[in-house]
């Protein structure tokens, strides 16, 4: 069954705490979007400003060319770190800065030709295809992402595929019958007072229930 992971992108501690309150007890894993202006033109909360319960597994989506808070990640139950193909950050240069073994994801922007990533992707545990341009939640999903998924599979790339951005019951219709491991969902879940109800709506649409 496809896994659904809530994503938090926020600029202040109050809204971050409100998101964690909604997630706590309903999801075991979250993804935190860390943005810096050198990559996406905005700055989100720094890791040092974030508090997350220890029983929640955390993935860090680094939309940055200059992220340097790796020492802070050991405070959390960090399970994965995602860097962008289009950024300057690379797993091989960062592994020694992470205090524990984690899975590494390679994120790919909508405009990037996935044929470019094959060699680099071999070094990563999964690929996270962006359904929107990174840096803001609430954007419309790019249906052309389906062609990227098919291309990766046709070229024999067996890495788990995660989809991030623009996920809702309408957009997941484009992803039906494709081999998707994880859906990363931001505003559709977190702007609702019924987060589990919204999760169920996505699942029903994805599986055509």
pTM of the shown model: 0.95
For residue 49, the number of C-alpha atoms closer than 13 Å in the C-beta half-sphere is 14
State pLDDT tens for residues 56-102: 999 999 999 999 999 999 999 999 999 999 999 999 999 999 978 99
Tens-place pLDDT, residues 75-88: 999 999 999 999 99
Contacts by residues 106-110 (CB-CB < 8 Å, ≥ 24 positions apart)? 106/82, 107/61, 107/63, 107/82, 107/83, 107/134, 107/164, 108/84, 108/148, 109/84, 109/85, 109/133, 109/134, 110/142, 110/144, 110/145
DSSP for 13-50 reads HHHHHHHHHHHTTT-SEEEEEEE-HHHHS-----GGG-
> Which tens digits make up the pLDDT trace of 133-181?
886 666 789 998 999 999 998 888 889 999 999 999 999 999 999 999 9
Contact 183, 176 (CB under 8 A): no
Class of domain 3-206: alpha beta
Which two tokens mark 177?
């019958």
d(Cα 161, Cα 179) in Å, to the nearest integer? Answer: 7
């Amino acid at each position: 069954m496809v896994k659904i992971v809530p994503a938090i992108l926020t600029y202040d501690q109050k809204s971050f705490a409100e998101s964690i309150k909604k997630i706590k007890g309903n999801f075991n894993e979250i993804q935190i979007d860390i943005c810096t202006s050198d990559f996406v033109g905005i700055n989100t909360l720094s890791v040092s400003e974030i508090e997350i319960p220890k029983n929640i597994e955390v993935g860090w989506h680094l939309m940055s060319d200059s992220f340097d808070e790796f020492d802070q990640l050991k405070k959390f139950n960090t399970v994965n770190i995602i860097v962008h193909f289009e950024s300057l950050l690379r797993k091989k240069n960062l592994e020694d800065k992470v205090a524990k073994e984690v899975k590494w994801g390679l994120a790919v922007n909508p405009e990037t030709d996935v044929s470019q990533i094959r060699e680099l992707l071999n070094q990563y545990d999964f690929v996270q295809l962006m359904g929107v341009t990174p840096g803001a939640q609430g954007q419309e999903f790019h249906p052309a992402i389906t062609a990227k998924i098919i291309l990766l599979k046709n070229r024999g790339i067996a890495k788990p595929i995660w989809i991030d951005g623009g996920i809702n019951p309408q957009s997941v219709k484009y992803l039906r019958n494709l081999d998707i491991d994880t859906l990363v969902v931001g505003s559709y879940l977190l702007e609702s007072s019924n987060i589990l109800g919204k999760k169920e709506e996505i699942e029903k649409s994805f599986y055509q229930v």
